[in-house]
Structure 1
């Protein structure tokens, strides 16, 4: 793989003057994943391409944005098409990203060509902005590997978490949450697939750690709200914490990601608030996230303003 310098990549990008929610009004975006690296936050989104009045998701690629201050976002020119995975038939549904050993691993949801149902693939790059290539040449998770439900979309929404001891975990699922350990190569399961019973779990599981505590958040019910649980390890046991974000008004989903950046915490999510926006024409936004003195996540309201500027002096421009 070629390893372009970040400076060269940024020369080829278009800086967005937009400094409010959503993070871009140029295209419709959904299902945010985020990564903080070298003082810059990178945002990975699926591109909604359904026409006005469309009745289904039309998503063919993931797009990458980045920011040094959580207000002004740079659109990187090269997306990641679902065709990166030759075994995929269509769709660029929810993804997640992590860095390990100097490489960037992007876990994605696509439709499999030959095994009916949704599948999870993993791509790798030497740069957070790509180019990404298929790390396996085959799916990591396919619908025939799990049998908890009869639906064909129960293997979606991958979330990747690397614990302090170096153990990587993959979380995913619809209706039933599943998780598995990954081998250090980040492209193979290391042991069995486990299921977790969560109250009214729908999808979009996400794990992060704050002040020594593990936070498992997910989309609950349908239409969805974002809730969280806490636990002493990356696999629980889990105790209910509360609602982070209420349901959207004109979009049934609300997929999220949580990161720490430059001394503050943030939650990304999507809604349908752009003109002509809605169920299949969504927009990713971001808010600052706060914890109470007891470690509880405080409820987050959606705003048009978004978070205050938080410029990072460590950001490599």
Structure 2
């Protein structure tokens, strides 16, 4: 049965040459997708894996941008930001998200902090800003928005990573982030200042990589999880961006050839999309990842249907 299903998918892909095929970015290894719709264009902000086949750790020197107007053809803008943009930063370019607010684009990034008067090191979150979705971007504050010393619930130094930022209907801005525990805080309208205390909680099976959004009257917190084997994607829902959160289950199983995965969810031209990464490109792996996209579907009660991962080289199908 499984073989028959696989052959059918492969045959279907052969008859859909005009459709995008996973992974959607093939010329470079990319990870941690963060989609943004601005006007009629979908912009995709990504990490960049440059580790060799033999290396067993991340090497992520910068962040890149792509765009599309048809979900098939992707324009490559190349490297548009790196930790070197931030005078206080050192180390790799971890997961990031760009959001639009009041005429400007704010790119919230996670990297590591130099030892100085503001921090003794560890993971940190910064903010870059631009008047255009593709930059140029500059450090919006001149210092980190979040440093390791501000969150003490966990002992490890890399817990302040993977920011997701959401602007609610009343224009209140929320930021969620964290490895090992999920932290959140309200931001001021400037997008560069905290508007209250940092709160911490741990959704069921939570590891890292949260993605916060709203659909109709329901708020969603989607994240990389332990599941039955790291990493899967699970999620919670809530009546407000501040919770309380109700666990809803697994929506994506393990991905091919990668220990990690990372969600990015967006509606574009009447269709919901689920972005993630795997290790399916030739010579790919957990440190040489590739971004994919599949359709996201909801049940009538707002719960998310399990993601059907399309195979490498096979077109996603409605």
Q: Same fold (TM over 0.5)?
A: yes
Q: How does 1:267-286 map to 2 (within 5 A)?
A: 267-286=274-293
Q: Which residue pairs with 1:146 in the alignment?
A: 151
Whole-angstrom CA distance in 2 between matches of 1:48 and 1:259: 23
Q: Secondary structure in 2 aligned to 1:294?
A: coil
Whole-angstrom CA distance in 2 between matches of 1:71 and 1:209: 26
Q: Give the C-alpha shift of residue 78 in structure 1.
A: 4.3
**Compared with structure 1, are the counterparts of its residues 171 and 197 closer, same or farther at alpha carbon in structure 2 (3 Å cutoff)?**
same
Q: Give the C-alpha shift of residue 301 in structure 1.
A: 1.7
Maintained 8 Å contact 2:80/2:137: no
Q: Deviations over 1:20-53 (max 9, x none)?
A: 1112111000011110001110001110000111
Q: Give the C-alpha shift of residue 77 in structure 1.
A: 3.5
Q: Give the C-alpha shift of residue 98 in structure 1.
A: 0.6
Higher mean C-alpha deviation, range 216-225 or range 250-259: 216-225
Whole-angstrom CA distance in 1 between matches of 2:101 and 2:128: 13
- Which one of the candidate residues 153, 160, 171 is aligned to 2:165? 160
Structure 1 runs (4+) greater than 6 angstroms displaced: none
Maintained 8 Å contact 2:173/2:189: yes
Q: Which residue pairs with 1:37 in the alignment?
A: 38
Q: Secondary structure in 2 aligned to 1:93?
A: coil
Q: Give the C-alpha shift of residue 308 in structure 1.
A: 5.5
Q: How does 1:286-305 map to 2 (within 5 A)?
A: 286-303=293-310, 304=312, 305=314
Whole-angstrom CA distance in 1 between matches of 2:194 and 2:253: 34
Maintained 8 Å contact 1:123/1:133: yes
Q: How does 1:7-156 map to 2 (within 5 A)?
A: 19-114=20-115, 115-156=120-161
- Structure 2 gaps of 5+ residues are 1-17
Maintained 8 Å contact 1:170/1:181: yes
Q: Which residue pairs with 1:9 in the alignment?
A: none
- Structure 1 gaps of 5+ residues are 1-16, 310-317
Whole-angstrom CA distance in 1 between matches of 2:221 and 2:315: 24
Q: Secondary structure in 2 aligned to 1:79?
A: strand
- Which one of the candidate residues 207, 212, 215 is aligned to 2:217? 212
Q: Give the C-alpha shift of residue 276 in structure 1.
A: 0.5
TM-score, length of structure 2 as denominator length = 0.89
Maintained 8 Å contact 1:159/1:171: yes
Equivalenced residues, count: 293
Maintained 8 Å contact 1:225/1:245: yes
Q: Give the C-alpha shift of residue 198 in structure 1.
A: 1.2
Q: Which residue pairs with 2:186 in the alignment?
A: 181
Whole-angstrom CA distance in 2 between matches of 1:78 and 1:279: 21
Q: Which residue pairs with 1:246 in the alignment?
A: 253
